[in-house]
Structure 1
Amino acid sequence: MKKWALAAIVYLLAIIGGYWVYDANFKTEAKTPMDMSHESPVSTNESHAHNESGSGHHHESTGTEAGEVKPSFSYKDGKIEIMLKDMQSNPVTNLEVNHEKLMHLIVVNDHLDQYYHIHPKKVGPGKFVIPYQLAEGRYKAFIDVKPKNLNYKVEPVGFTVGNPVENHIHPSLVPDQTFIKTIDGKTVEMKVSSFEAQKPVTLQFILDETTLEPYLGAAGHVVILNESAGQYLHVHPKDEQRPVFETQFDHPGTYKIWAEFKQAGKVRVFPFIIKIK
């Protein structure tokens, strides 16, 4: 009788021990989709499509990284609205301040003779708004932000204001013969170190630096588009204190450069057109 009771106790302990081992080693690995639904995917890739050259920032629309941010853009009744969402349609709220702003919005018309550098305000999770009047025409917008822990590539967003004339022929950009521009009595000369594609290029701007003031935390800003406005570069000064910029043109073609400088309290935009071989 005692042997039977002892055997029963040993058998019961064996069953309990086996169930405990199973629970500890297997059950926790068999979570159902409902168990995992609250666990958000995390990315550690911080190599946005925002490259850095030296200490100057170089934002571009080229690159092979797949974007993890889906911006939506709308213009209606003189107001621009932008919404940033991730691939799961969640608002993108974790943005780095980039030259004093969370967002830089570049807008150009299809002739590339109208250029606007705008800073929409954040009004909610992932949502930015700004009132801005644009003339009738066709435009492209470039939403320049720097999300944390998400790949982002600046892509052109086309939109139309009003009812512009159809079948209008757009003349090709004509490269400048000289790189000297004067606006409001202020003269800027651009010196280019190389006109070859896929090689480092230094853009040095000669101007009256005695009246030069910091603009958005830097000595100036440079935005570059190719003729079709499909390739985008936003370059900041190499050392933030001097109007010297480093960049690279990945493809041959004609490009338009807008150089922005603040002198004696006023921001002026100096346009240049160059040919890259």
Structure 2
Amino acid sequence: MNSSSGHDMTSHGGHGGARPGGLSVSESGYTLDLDSTILSAGAQAVTFRVTGPDGRPVTEFTPEHEKELHFIAVRRDTTWFQHVHPVRDEKGTWSVELTLEPGDWRFFADIHPVGHDGTMTLGIDASVAGRYDPQPLSEDTRTAHVGEYTVTLDGELLPGEASDLTLTVSRNGRPVTDLQPYLGAYGHLVALRVGDLGYLHVHPEGEPGDGTTEPGPGITFMAAAPSGGTYRLYLDFQHEDVVRTAEFTVRTTAPTPRSDAASEAAHEHMSHRHNGHAHH
């Protein structure tokens, strides 16, 4: 399967930095249908279907990044992020084990139904019973610690404009140069807009085995923010057969109006960067 190019901002709800995905339970006749939107806390199976324009469960999907469906679960205070891969039966019912804390959650299904032009991200709310202790949003954070690993984020998320984000992985102070492929890439990045959990989903530039992409320590993504605001970024990476998640908070502001000359110069600069002339 071919991974989506890092330059393709139309996939996974990116829409060229315009409207993010995951804001609707239904799109183009496809609907995310949970068996129950009220759940108990703890580890449990969550079951759902994706119904098509004919009202029936969809059973044919084009794999994207090695999976027919990517399922993202996150509590609405942006904690307890989980990226999992459910199993589908022949009738079109998906099931997956989640560990849920009390509170309000958002579930996302990232899919490419056969016959539909491109991927889509559907989103639905669920409530988990129990005492809800929402956590305050972290400050703008560019360094994440995951056990022995440290991941640093370089670059800016720009509203309506594609830009490079580089995440660099080290372990106990030493660069990690033997990252393992995960979902057809050396890292998997999800970005959510704080406030409505609008969903951006991009993959790194390059892919394992292309002759130029190194297995660390840096993983470069191209992304565009749909607006100014605060975003939560979640990087999944695999090392020594374990997938880990590093979390970041990034604040971005809407661009200030520029003169035509300045805008043209900036556009020219971005064109060079996207054509592979960027020097990091």
- Whether TM exceeds 0.5 here: the answer is yes
Distance 2:45 2:27 in 1: 30
TM-score, normalised to structure 1, is 0.72
Q: Is the alpha carbon distance of 1:172 and 1:133 closer, same or farther for their aligned partners in structure 2, counting shifts above 3 Å? A: closer
Which residue of structure 2 aligns with residue 199 of structure 1? 161
Q: CA deviation at 1:244?
A: 1.2
**Counterpart in 1 of 2:252?**
276
1:186 aligns with 2:139: no
Counterpart secondary structure, 1:107: strand
Q: Which residue of 1 aligns with 2:139?
A: 174
Contact 2:187–2:204 (CA<8 Å) still a contact in 1? Answer: yes
Instruction: Indicate which of 155, 170, 173 corresponds to 2:122.
Output: 155
Select the residue among 193, 197, 212 that pairs with 1:226.
193
CA distance in 2, matches of 1:209, 1:169: 34
Q: Residue 73 of structure 1 aligns with which residue?
A: 34
2:153 partner letter: M
Structure 1 position 63, deviation (Å): 6.2
**Relative to 1, partners in 2 of residues 1:205 and 1:57: Cα closer, same or farther, differing over 3 Å?**
farther
Cα deviations across residues 225-270 of structure 1 (Å, max 9, x unaligned)? 0112431012111212342111111111000000111112211111
CA distance in structure 1 between the partners assigned to 2:85 and 2:220 by the alignment: 24
Q: Which moved more, 1:98-107 or 1:61-70?
A: 61-70
- 1:237-276 matches, cutoff 5 A: 237-241=204-208, 242=213, 243-276=219-252
- Aligned-partner Cα distance in 2 for 1:227–1:157: 16
> Within 5 Å, which residues of 2 pair with 1:35-74?
53-54=6-7, 58-60=11-13, 62=19, 66-74=27-35
- In structure 2, the partner of 1:141 is 107
Q: Tell me, yes or no, if structure 1 residue 115 matches structure 2 residue 78.
A: no
What amino acid is the match of 2:34? F
Local SS of the residue matching 1:155? strand
- Flag structure 1 segments of 5+ consecutive residues without an equivalent: 1-50
**1:173·1:254 contact (CA, 8 Å) conserved in 2?**
no
Distance 1:211 1:57 in 2: 30
- Equivalent pair of 1:156/1:230 in contact (CA under 8 Å): no
CA distance in structure 2 between the partners assigned to 1:71 and 1:102 by the alignment: 15
**5+ long unaligned stretches in structure 2:** 170-174, 214-218, 254-280
Partner of 1:130: 96
Answer whether contact 1:173 1:227 (CA < 8 A) is retained.
Answer: no
| 1:124-144 deviation line (CA, Å, top 9, x unaligned) | 232211233322222110111
Counterpart for residue 30 of structure 1: none
Give the deviation of 1:60 after TM superposition: 1.5
Higher-Rg structure is 1
Residue number in structure 2 paired with 1:89:
55
Go from structure 1 to structure 2 and tell me whether the alpha carbon gap of 1:114 and 1:66 turns closer, same or farther (over 3 Å shift).
closer
Q: 1:204 to 1:161 in 2, by over 3 A?
A: same
Which residue in 2 is equivalent to 1:17? none
CA distance in 2, matches of 1:159, 1:222: 23
Shift in alpha-carbon separation, 1:183–1:105, aligned structure 2, 3 A: same
SS of the equivalent of 2:136 reads: coil
C-alpha contact (below 8 Å) 2:192/2:233 kept by paired residues: yes
Deviation at 1:52, TM superposition (A): 5.5
Report the Cα distance in structure 1 between the residues aligned to 2:53 and 2:9, rounded to whole angstroms: 30
Q: Deviations over 1:173-211 (max 9, x none)?
A: 5322xx22222211211111x343111121111223423
Q: How many residues align?
A: 222
- Do 2:189 and 2:236's aligned partners in 1 also have CA atoms closer than 8 Å? yes
Output the aligned Cα RMSD. Answer: 2.6
TM-score normalized by the length of structure 2:
0.71
* CA 1:118–1:63: 2 relative to 1, 3 Å: closer
CA 1:215 to 1:52, structure 2 compared with 1: closer, same or farther past 3 Å? closer
Instruction: Say whether the 8 Å CA contact 1:226–1:256 is kept in structure 2.
Output: yes
